[in-house]
Amino acid sequence: MQALRKKILKIHQLLVDAYGDPPRPRLDPVSELVSTILSQNTNDTLRDRAYDRLRERYPTWEQVRDAPVRQIEKAIRVCGLSRQKAPRIKKALQHVTRERGALTLDFLRDLPVDEARQWLMSIDGVGPKTAAIVLLFSLNKPAFPVDTHVHRVTGRLGLIPPRASAEKAHVILEELVPAELYLPFHLNVIVHGREVCHARKPQCHACVLRRLCRYYAEVIRPQTRVPSVPRVPTAGTQGTQGTQGADLMIETWA
């Protein structure tokens, strides 16, 4: 465990050197909740475009809550899966209002992080990732979100077991990563996953983390070894035992 924590500190510094120290997102908790629902299975550009169009059409979340699902769907269509996301957003806003009497999640600031997490996950369609994003980004609570990029990259690095689920990864990484690094580590790992550690063809030759990466050590590096080259017999040694079988091993490392 201690070795993994030291490894995480090295990874964090390498990522900061490569991508900088990311700024904290600045949305209120309800806005972050909606934005995160919109972000599912799409990219940041389309998520932001859908979010902006929704806010242009309905300036308050109360208006979104009370709008017809089909109108919400039309406003957010650009981000994809609008038929699933529109009713999910509306139901989430209705849930908050029903439970709290108003559309606010600010009360979560006063709850212990696990209790706040469970409250958010009681909303239909809100899982560990969405809950952790709202808690970390908007409420500055120690919750570590695991999206597909974080799950893939930390798995390849050997920070989580090979078969660990995303839900299990939340628990493991919250224990390993220092709480004060949750935000920059999470955001920079996502950037690294998008730019270098791709799902299908990771750019290992360009990866600043390859010397710390289990996937590179076990899968990629062995493939980069040049096959052994037989030693050319010198004059007077042809036909002798041992010389012809000797190999000159040449290894190159990516």
CATH code assigned at 133 = 1.10.340.30
> What was the pLDDT predicted at 151?
97
Which domain covers residue 110, as residue numbers?
A: 29-139
Would you state the structure tokens that stand for residue 79, as one six-digit string?
A: 């981000």
Domain co-membership, 39 together with 106: yes
> What was the pLDDT predicted at 252?
31
> What was the pLDDT predicted at 224?
75
Could you tell me the pTM of the whole model?
A: 0.85
> What was the pLDDT predicted at 104?
97
Asked whether residue 239 is assigned to any structural domain, the reply reads no
CA pair distance 51, 238, nearest whole angstrom? 77
Please check whether residue 91 is in contact with residue 125, taking contact to mean a CB–CB distance below 8 angstroms: yes
Domain co-membership, 134 together with 211: no
One digit per residue, pLDDT tens: the chain, 254 residues?
899 999 999 999 999 999 999 998 889 999 999 999 999 989 999 999 999 999 999 999 999 999 999 999 999 999 999 999 999 999 999 999 999 999 999 999 999 999 999 999 999 999 999 999 999 999 999 999 999 999 999 999 999 999 999 999 999 999 999 999 999 999 999 999 999 999 999 999 999 999 999 999 999 988 876 555 556 555 554 444 443 333 323 233 33
Q: Is 201 a catalytic residue?
A: no
**Residue 47: which of 27, 20, 69 has the closest Cα?**
27
> DSSP H helical segments within 77-161, as ranges?
82-100, 113-121, 128-133, 139, 148-157
Active-site option among 85, 90, 129, 141: 129
CATH of the domain at 196: 1.10.1670.10
> What was the pLDDT predicted at 225?
65
Asked whether residue 172 is assigned to any structural domain, the reply reads yes
Would you state the structure tokens that stand for residue 17, as one six-digit string?
A: 């050197």
Asked whether residue 179 is assigned to any structural domain, the reply reads yes
Name the strand (E) or helix (H) holding 88: helix 82-100
Asked whether residue 252 is assigned to any structural domain, the reply reads no
Asked whether residue 102 is assigned to any structural domain, the reply reads yes
> What was the pLDDT predicted at 228?
53
CA pair distance 147, 1, nearest whole angstrom? 23
